[in-house]
Amino acid sequence: MPEDAETGKGGPALRGDCESCFGLCCVALPFAASADFAVNKPAGKPCTNLQTDFRCGIHTRLRKQGFPGCTVYDCFGAGQKVSQVTFGGQDWRQAPDTAQQMFDVFPVMRQLHELLWYLNEALALPAARPVHADVRRLLDETEALTRRDSASLLEVDVPGHRQKVNVLLLRTSELVRAKTGRKTKNHRGADLMGARLKRADLRGANLRGAYLIAADLSGADLRMADLIGADFRDADLSGADLTGSIFLTQPQINAAKGDAATKLPPALTRPPHWTPSATAATRS
């Protein structure tokens, strides 16, 4: 499990805690009417389902009501950091003059928290020990950025910082995948939409940024594969083995289909919308 940047162990700081957030993902972010969202909503406007207590009025019925995109999203703990730390627990309804700045800060914080997730994972991987000192330095630097005031956060060069982090994540990936002891497959950025990869041996594969939308990965072996940024929307992961895969996140898993036989890394949880048999559900 990725080590938590604030508690020193896997914990809530890098996981969304809606109880401590002012519904920022339901207000700050835009969405368009599509298969993921039932309606259009511009950035900065509260979703019509957001209640006065900042809870979702249809939380248990999101998929049935046409909002599956909401069940996929995770802020990596950015929502509560902005709400309780950056703005000191004062919500945008109490202080409407700060609302726009809060909404602008949220996506910046979300990106930084996602980087913290990856860096913590790299630090927890024994194979990446040769770069752990550099990872720790960059982790501390990233955490320091998240502690800035709102005006300073908006000045952060997120793409530049992400590039620095990516250099270390690439090196981490090489070290981990080398442990397979064999030549691994390179599918970085590959278009594998709808690909038939049932029971494929993808151990140690480089699948960074690969498009695996609606791919059949049922029963596939993805151990030690680099899955950072891979698009798993509607991919069939039933019976797949993802234990030991690296840089896989909860939103990626939430976007996929899986079942009780899907093996996940310990830091991730099985989505409640997964069926006992994803393949059977797909064919029905």
Q: Are residues 256 and 121 in the same domain?
A: no
pLDDT computed for residue 3 by the predictor: 44
Q: Are residues 30 and 159 in the same domain?
A: yes
Report CA Rg, the chain: 19
Chosen domain end from 177, 205, 222: 177
Q: Are residues 188 and 58 in the same domain?
A: no
Closest CA to 54 of 33, 28, 23, 76: 23
Region 7-29: mean pLDDT is 80
Q: Are residues 116 and 173 in the same domain?
A: yes
pLDDT digits (tens, 9 = 90+) for 181-238: 988 889 999 999 999 999 999 999 999 999 999 999 999 999 999 999 999 999 999 9
Query: Residue 282 pLDDT more than 60?
Result: no
* pLDDT bracket for residue 12 (50, 70, 90): low
Query: Residue 256 pLDDT more than 80?
Result: yes
pLDDT digits (tens, 9 = 90+) for 32-90: 999 899 999 999 999 999 999 999 999 989 999 999 999 999 999 999 999 999 999 99
Q: Are residues 167 and 209 in the same domain?
A: no
Q: Are residues 282 and 237 in the same domain?
A: yes
pLDDT computed for residue 277 by the predictor: 55
Q: Quick check: is 1 in a domain?
A: no
Q: Quick check: is 62 in a domain?
A: yes
Q: Quick check: is 47 in a domain?
A: yes
Region 242-268: mean pLDDT is 96
Q: Are residues 142 and 193 in the same domain?
A: no
Chosen domain end from 146, 177, 208: 177
Within a 10 A sphere around the Cβ of 154, how many other Cβ atoms? 12
Q: Quick check: is 6 in a domain?
A: no
Query: Residue 239 pLDDT more than 90?
Result: yes
Q: Are residues 149 and 225 in the same domain?
A: no
Chosen domain end from 152, 177, 202: 177
Instruction: List the domain range (segments joined by +) for residue 267.
Output: 184-284
**CA triplet 76, 227, 119: central angle to 5 degrees?**
45
Specify the higher pLDDT residue, 12 or 149. 149
Q: What is the dihedral of CA 208, 213, 216, 219, to 10 degrees?
A: 40
Task: Give me the number of domains the chain comprises.
Answer: 2
pLDDT digits (tens, 9 = 90+) for 100-141: 999 999 999 999 999 999 999 999 999 999 999 999 999 999
pLDDT computed for residue 10 by the predictor: 40
Query: Residue 280 pLDDT more than 80?
Result: no
Q: Quick check: is 7 in a domain?
A: no
pLDDT computed for residue 20 by the predictor: 95
| Straight-line distance from the first to the last Cα atom of the chain, in angstroms, rounded to the nearest whole number | 35
Query: Residue 11 pLDDT more than 90?
Result: no
Q: Are residues 230 and 260 in the same domain?
A: yes
Structure tokens at 190: 């590959």
pLDDT computed for residue 273 by the predictor: 86
**In one letter, which amino acid is 37?**
F
Q: Are residues 34 and 107 in the same domain?
A: yes
Q: Quick check: is 5 in a domain?
A: no
Q: Are residues 30 and 56 in the same domain?
A: yes
pLDDT computed for residue 284 by the predictor: 39
Q: Quick check: is 45 in a domain?
A: yes
Grouping H, G, I as helix, E, B as strand and the rest as coil, residue 17 is: coil
Residue 165 near residue 142, CB atoms below 8 Å: yes
Question: Model-level pTM?
Answer: 0.90
Kindly report the CATH number assigned to the domain that includes residue 263: 2.160.20.80
Q: Are residues 48 and 134 in the same domain?
A: yes
Identify the burial level of 161 via C-beta atoms within 10 angstroms of its C-beta, where 0-12 means exposed, 13-18 middle and 19 or more buried: middle
Q: Quick check: is 3 in a domain?
A: no
pLDDT computed for residue 278 by the predictor: 43
